[in-house]
Amino acid sequence: MSKTIANVIHGLIGLATLPLNERQKDKTIARVAEDVTRRSRRIVETARGPLSFYAMRGHGTISAVRNFHNEEPETLEWIDTYIKPGDVFWDIGANIGLYTLYAALNPQVTVYAFEPSALNFSLLVEHIHLNNLDRNINPLCVALGNETKIGHLMMNDFSTGHAGNALDKAETQFLEFKPVFRQSIPAFTADDFRRLMNVPAPDHIKLDVDGIEDLILAGAPETLRHVKSLIIEIEGRNVDNVRDGIEKPLFAAGLKEDERFRAKGSKRNRLFVRA
């Protein structure tokens, strides 16, 4: 329905600008686009204060903003419970920044937001600026994995706010897909990233990258030894690989699962804490 209505509006704009010359048409359409962008700002009231988003940048974006409180309430609860003043939080798979921004509403928390998609990263940076949170958020358009190299982000949808991209192999935790675009991207193991960039180890990690969670953990044995808590989305192929790909490296780092967390909220995430 929304796609049909969008096509109708597009047709009406074309009809309204029909009497204009090409230059006037372009200027008029640009003004409409600017107005839509301005009106797209949405404010979400949170337990830590209000957050503003440019919600109309894509269907994935508006859906994420509208469902801020309902999509993963357990992740919000985890941020409120575990991330303390002075802590370092890595948001791996930050997308447009919902949880990055929420954590950063505490100005004493330092956030590193990893988002390899150029489309999502651009809006992530705009959201940081919109909320005046650049002092304690470090946005990074890089990927993490099990190798340090120039990788390729395979996109299965070229729209802002979209998830379901994949590093090097066009396959998520659910399915293989034909990529619509291939974006070159610097990729690091977490351990190499810390060493090369001289950044502090994370106290807490949110890991949600649509299927290569196990590869990121494989590249982070030293980093994981510093982690106090880690929340990870486990669905699809990750369920079949949970023992070797997820639990083994986390247990080796001295983390244990709080199994009570499995029943919370979306039931997609699992919580591991320092034993």
- Other beta carbons less than 10 A from residue 241's beta carbon: 17
Among 107-121, 124-138, 237-251, name the one with the lowest average pLDDT: 237-251
pLDDT tens sequence across 18-30: 787 888 877 887 7
Q: In what order do the strands lie in the sheet with 88-92?
A: 137-140, 110-114, 88-92, 204-207, 229-233, 269-274, 255-257
- Computed over every residue of the chain, the mean pLDDT equals 92
Residue range 26-53: average pLDDT?
Answer: 85
**Is residue 154 classed as helix, strand or coil in its secondary structure?**
strand
SS3 state of residue 269: strand
Residue 105 or 212, more confident: 105
Question: Please, which residues bridge with residue 112 across strands?
Answer: 90, 138
Identify the structural domains of the chain with CATH numbers, from first to last: 65-274 (3.40.50.150)
Q: Is the pLDDT confidence value at 38 over 90? A: no
Query: What is the rounded average pLDDT of the residues 148-153?
Result: 96
| pLDDT tops 80 at residue 6 | no
Burial 184-222 (b: 16+ CB within 10 A, else e): ebebbbbbbbbeeeeeebbbbbbbbbbbbbbbbbbbbee
Whether residue 251 is predicted with pLDDT greater than 70 in this model: the reply is: yes
Q: What Å distances lie between residue 179 and 151, 168, 170, 182, CA to CA?
A: 15, 11, 6, 7
What is the sign of the dihedral through the CA atoms of 206, 209, 210 and 213? Answer: negative
The residue to which tokens 């074309």 are assigned: 14
Q: Which residues of 245-258 are buried (b: 16+ CB within 10 A; e: fewer)?
A: bbbebbeebebebe
Distance between CA atoms of residues 19 and 201, nearest Å: 61
* Token couple for 268: 């997609």
Q: Which residue type sits at 47?
A: A
Q: How far apart are CA 205 and CA 68, in angstroms?
A: 19
Question: Following DSSP, what letter does each residue of 97-145 receive, concatenated?
Answer: -HHHHHHHTSTT-EEEEE---HHHHHHHHHHHHHTT-TTTEEEE--EE-
Task: Return the pLDDT at 170.
Answer: 84
Q: What are phi and psi of 144, to 5 degrees?
A: -110, 145
Share of the chain above pLDDT 90, in %: 69
Beta-bridged to residue 223, according to DSSP, are none
- pLDDT of 241 reads 86
Between 91 and 212, residue with greater pLDDT: 91
* AA identity, residue 11: G
Residue predicted with more confidence, 212 or 46: 46
Which residues have CB under 8 Å from 140's CB, separation 6+?
A: 112, 113, 114, 115
In sequence order, what DSSP letters do the residues of 157-195 get, joined into one string?
Answer: --STT----EESSSB-SS-B---SEEEEEEEE-HHHHHH
